[in-house]
């Protein structure tokens, strides 16, 4: 990269700031936070292969964005005013689940951005779409999918999140578009089926008092709240805090169109993640993940070799699989199934009578079944 003289760098900065409403600048251009607009970061004798920065790499950013910058003398040495309080990103990146393999500049435009949608990156409220923190991307999800989407030949990678979030799917969490389901009674106010989601609604700092954003978390998956993924763990508001932040717990367990949530999550202690993909499903309603080309921990094919879910509309569906020691071949709910989940017309599934469909496999046991009232 060619090296420009400092006067050229200053001219570029001043020109950008003169652009007016076309840009919304970050705290780097706030005179209440920085002694000057350019020289705290840029130098005429900057490091080679950088835009004339005083140092190279993310360590340069973390020199300010760390707990060490609480010291007034250090602030002055770094060109900050005493009123500046840069977010402590360094501590977030030291957590057990940091944003690996990403550089600061991969997600941030240090001179600030303004969404092409006409609004600043901040502030925002739940249910609204967040603007990107980097120029060249309209929304936050567009920015995230630039790394977490369309991977593999022809986008065939099962970890391609754009594939799971595709609005053409029968079900998906509404990041790229408003969700297809018009009846989601469990949604907590002020959310509605017209609301949108953002990646950082789920993937963010687990400490609400810490720096915002997906820098690091103490929770697996870089989640901002708990979402139990282990079988055998008791259900509680805390165990599924991430899910219950948007979905009313009482409705999910007692009034949902699927009448067996309480039996699965509470009695059998099967985590939500065993059945639902929190991003989307390419061929099933309700985010059911059994039809996806991914390995499912604790879930295998049924005795007939099938691993799939078939929906017969709201309040009715069938599972072909083996989970928590029970063979579903199929077991279902709603129209066409009896109170034990057995099909009333086995021949419609291409099978004879299925007397052993619900038989528990040898060597398994059922977890205790605490009542909902006991958990309140």
The predicted structure's pLDDT at residue 154: 43
- Report domain extents, the chain: 1-86
If pLDDT is split at 50, 70 and 90, which confidence band does 90 have? very high
Residue 16 has pLDDT above 70, yes or no: no
Residues 6+ apart with CB under 8 A from 81: 31, 32, 33, 34, 35, 75
Give CA separation, 185 vs 113, 193, 215, 272, in Å: 37, 9, 33, 17
Which pTM does this prediction carry?
Answer: 0.82
The predicted structure's pLDDT at residue 358: 42
Q: What is the DSSP string of 143-177?
A: HHHHHHSS-SGGG--TT-HHHHH-TTSSEE-SSSS
Residues 6+ apart with CB under 8 A from 360: 325, 326, 366
Could you tell me the sign of the dihedral formed by the alpha carbons of 241, 247, 248, 250, in that order? negative
∠ Cα 304 305 311 (to 5°)? 85
Most confident of 56-60, 183-187, 230-234, 364-368: 230-234
- Tokens 């034990």, residue located: 340
Give CA separation, 253 vs 14, 262, 267, 272, in Å: 58, 5, 11, 12
The predicted structure's pLDDT at residue 236: 97
Tell me the per-residue pLDDT of 203-239, one tens digit each, with 9 for 90 and over. 999 998 899 899 999 999 999 999 999 989 999 999 9
* 305-323: average pLDDT: 89
* 311-325: average pLDDT: 87
Q: Which phi-psi region, left, alpha or beta, contains residue 34 (left: φ > 0; alpha: ψ -120 to 50)? A: beta
* Stated length of the chain: 376
Most confident of 2-6, 275-279, 312-316, 358-362: 275-279
Give CA separation, 217 vs 58, 102, 308, in Å: 19, 15, 33
Tell me the per-residue pLDDT of 143-170, one tens digit each, with 9 for 90 and over. 999 888 865 334 445 567 988 999 999 9
Alpha-carbon gap, residue 6 to 322, rounded angstroms: 67
DSSP-assigned letter for residue 125? -
Residue 6 has pLDDT above 80, yes or no: no
Burial of 131 (0-12, 13-18, 19+ CB in 10 A): buried
């Amino acid at each position: 990269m060619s090296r420009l003289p400092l006067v050229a760098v200053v001219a570029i900065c001043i020109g950008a700031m003169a652009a007016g409403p076309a840009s919304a600048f970050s705290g780097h251009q706030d005179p209440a936070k920085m002694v000057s607009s350019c020289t705290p970061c840029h130098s005429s004798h900057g490091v080679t292969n950088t835009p004339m920065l005083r140092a190279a790499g993310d360590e340069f950013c973390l020199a300010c964005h760390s707990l060490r910058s609480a010291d007034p003398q250090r602030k002055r040495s770094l060109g900050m005013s005493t009123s500046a309080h840069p977010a402590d990103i360094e501590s977030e990146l030291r957590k057990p689940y940091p944003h690996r393999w990403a550089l600061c500049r991969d997600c941030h435009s240090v001179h600030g951005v303004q969404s092409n949608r006409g609004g600043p990156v901040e502030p925002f409220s739940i249910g609204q779409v967040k603007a990107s923190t980097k120029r060249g991307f309209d929304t936050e999800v567009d920015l995230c999918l630039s790394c977490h989407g369309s991977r593999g030949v022809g986008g065939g990678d099962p970890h391609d999140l754009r594939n799971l979030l595709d609005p053409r799917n029968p079900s998906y969490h509404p990041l790229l578009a408003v969700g297809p389901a018009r009846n989601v009674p469990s949604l907590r106010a002020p959310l509605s089926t017209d609301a949108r989601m953002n990646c950082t609604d789920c993937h963010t700092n687990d400490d609400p008092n810490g720096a915002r954003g997906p820098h690091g978390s103490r929770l697996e998956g870089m989640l901002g709240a708990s979402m139990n993924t282990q079988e055998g763990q008791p259900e509680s508001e805390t165990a599924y805090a991430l899910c219950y932040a948007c979905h009313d717990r009482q409705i999910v367990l007692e009034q949902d169109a699927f009448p067996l949530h309480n039996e699965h999550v509470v009695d059998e202690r099967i985590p939500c993640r065993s059945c639902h993909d929190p991003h989307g499903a390419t061929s099933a309603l309700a985010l059911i993940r059994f039809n996806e080309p991914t390995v499912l921990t604790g879930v295998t094919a049924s005795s007939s070799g099938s691993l799939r879910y078939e929906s017969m509309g709201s309040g009715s569906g069938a599972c072909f699989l083996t989970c928590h020691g029970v063979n579903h071949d199929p077991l279902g709910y709603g129209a066409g199934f009896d109170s034990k989940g057995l099909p009333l017309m086995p021949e419609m599934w291409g099978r004879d009578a299925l007397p052993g469909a619900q038989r528990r496999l040898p060597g398994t046991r059922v977890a205790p079944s605490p009542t909902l009232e006991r958990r309140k």
